[in-house]
Amino acid sequence: MVKTTVGAIITNNDKPKKLLLTKRAIEPFKGYWCFPGGHIDEYEKAENAVIREVKEETGLDFKPSFVMYSDEIIPEVNQHAVVLIFQGTGSGELLIEESEVLEAKWFNFKEARELKLAFGHNQILDEFLRNNYVLIL
């Protein structure tokens, strides 16, 4: 079954900008870095889902702007999802939800691109940077 999920590309206001990634506490991809995000609940709007997921996982408030979608088809972990990617800055105090997230950390974009990220987040990050490079300057 195909699921619809959301992912958040959260940047700070530094020059150059940094990207917030979370380390997963649950399978699949336990111990891997990824964008905060998750499943859209029944009857929930995608924008509300990404705001909720960011708050749950990081404690941050997030004002999202939709930037792209990606197909995540990963048979090895029985994953088939359409991921709606939103971008924005996070505000408030960083406070992780330990049942879902082991750690949250700000990375410069070069560092983030060198990590092996969960799901298809490496490809999403590469595409985001190709199309939105000006946003991270």
Neighbours of 24 (CB within 10 A): 19
Q: Which of 8, 10, 31, 59 is nearest to 115 (CA)?
A: 31
**Segment holding 38, helix H or strand E:** strand 37-39
Closest to 100 in 3D by CA, of 7, 38, 16 = 38
Give the other-Cβ count within 10 Å of 36's Cβ. 27
d(CA 47, CA 114): 29
Query: Is 114 a known active-site residue?
Result: no
Catalytic-role residue among 27, 97, 103, 114: 103
Q: Which residues are catalytic?
A: 103
